[in-house]
Amino acid sequence: MGRVKITYGSHWSERPLAVSTLIGRHWSCDILLHAEEVPLRWLEIRWLGGRWGWRALSREGDTLGAGDWLRPGWRSLTVSRKANRVLRLRAAAAVELVNGDAPQPYAVDLQSGQILVKQSLAEMLGNAGFHQWRTHTGEPLNDGVVLVIEGRPLRLHLPQRVQATSGSGISSILHVDTLLKLDAETLTGAIELGTFRVELSREIVRVLLPYAEARVNDYAHEDAWISREEAHARWLELGGNPSSPPQRLGWMRGKAKTFLARKGLSDVDGLFESRRVGGWYGTRIGLQPEQIVIV
């Protein structure tokens, strides 16, 4: 299975690679680097068409590495002794591919950090009533799901269960390679897709941030749904007009989608998703956590 060697400071370790592996300082990353010089989400390594590719999610100018261009924004990562094949964040961290095989099923114990590879993982799941990567009722287990087995919280990485992203066009905001970058302090940001970039500022950033933060931190509701009142409270903290009621956020979301559509992005109706449960109404951003970088 694919593996990388991670070096930062006086620490080093080897870690397996999932179909998509995030590296950074944020708790949601697959490989955590506890160093202040490392961004919250620094790097993504992904299995692309039979080979490994990489892209910097932040501090692109400080991320040094080589590789053939596979698609817009992605370069190949290969096993090599050449110094320029090692990905470096200046002197802060280094990532080297030590095994270029395809990803295999594995799990991470979220408490101890122990890695369970395919055979031991299959045995543990089988003893708990899971068979052939399916639940007790026959539903397929999805990549990234967290299960509690024998009192241990395990995050599963199952390459055969990765679901395709719905957006297919190269200009789709739902494209798997779309990146949303937001800065809460300066209220600036951008949406990037390969060489395509849309600059964002003030009101657009202010309305995106509550939903983007909820998606990244998953703090509001299950699966990062956030209520209108919660989003409005955060919007006010970011400098929103205190005389504007919570209902204004619906209008602001519509304005953001219109702006992005005029800039040439498609599928903008999928930027926000809605859910109603009884009297509760929630909204979430239609991007995955790894597609969002907040500085």
Q: What is the pLDDT of residues 113-160, one digit of tens each?
A: 888 887 788 888 888 888 777 777 777 787 888 888 888 888 888 886
| 3 or 138: which leads in pLDDT | 3
- Among 46-50, 150-154, 166-170, 239-243, the minimum mean pLDDT is found in 166-170
Burial of 221 from C-beta contacts in 10 A (0-12 / 13-18 / 19+): middle
Q: At 34, is the pLDDT very low, low, confident or very high (cuts 50, 70, 90)?
A: confident
> What's the pTM?
0.63
Q: Supply the Cα-derived Rg of the chain in whole angstroms.
A: 20
CB 4 within 8 A of CB 14: yes
Identify residue 130 by its one-letter amino acid code.
Answer: F
CB 165 within 8 A of CB 176: yes
Query: In sequence order, which residues have a C-beta less than 8 Å from that of residue 222 and are 6 or more positions away?
Result: none
Q: At 12, is the pLDDT very low, low, confident or very high (cuts 50, 70, 90)?
A: confident
Q: What pLDDT was estimated at residue 98?
A: 92
What is the arithmetic mean of pLDDT over 76-98?
85
Q: What does the pLDDT look like over 186-242, one tens digit per residue?
A: 999 999 887 788 999 999 999 999 999 998 886 444 567 889 899 999 999 999 999
| Dist. CA 84–CA 157, nearest whole Å | 29
Mean pLDDT of the chain: 85
| Residue 20: other Cβ atoms inside 10 A | 20
Q: What pLDDT was estimated at residue 242?
A: 92
| 235 or 68: which leads in pLDDT | 235
Q: What pLDDT was estimated at residue 218?
A: 64
What is the arithmetic mean of pLDDT over 93-107?
91
Q: What pLDDT was estimated at residue 166?
A: 39
Is the pLDDT assigned to residue 81 strictly greater than 60?
yes
Q: What pLDDT was estimated at residue 168?
A: 41
CB 255 within 8 A of CB 248: no
Q: What pLDDT was estimated at residue 83?
A: 65
| Dist. CA 21–CA 81, nearest whole Å | 22
Q: What pLDDT was estimated at residue 164?
A: 40
Torsion of CA 282, 287, 291, 294, to 10 degrees: -30
Q: How far is CA 85 from CA 48, 76, 92, in A?
A: 17, 9, 16
- Among 21-30, 76-85, 232-241, 271-280, the minimum mean pLDDT is found in 76-85
What is the arithmetic mean of pLDDT over 30-36?
88
Q: Which strand (E) or helix (H) includes residue 258?
A: helix 248-262
What is the arithmetic mean of pLDDT over 249-257?
92
Q: What pLDDT was estimated at residue 277?
A: 77
| 174 or 140: which leads in pLDDT | 174
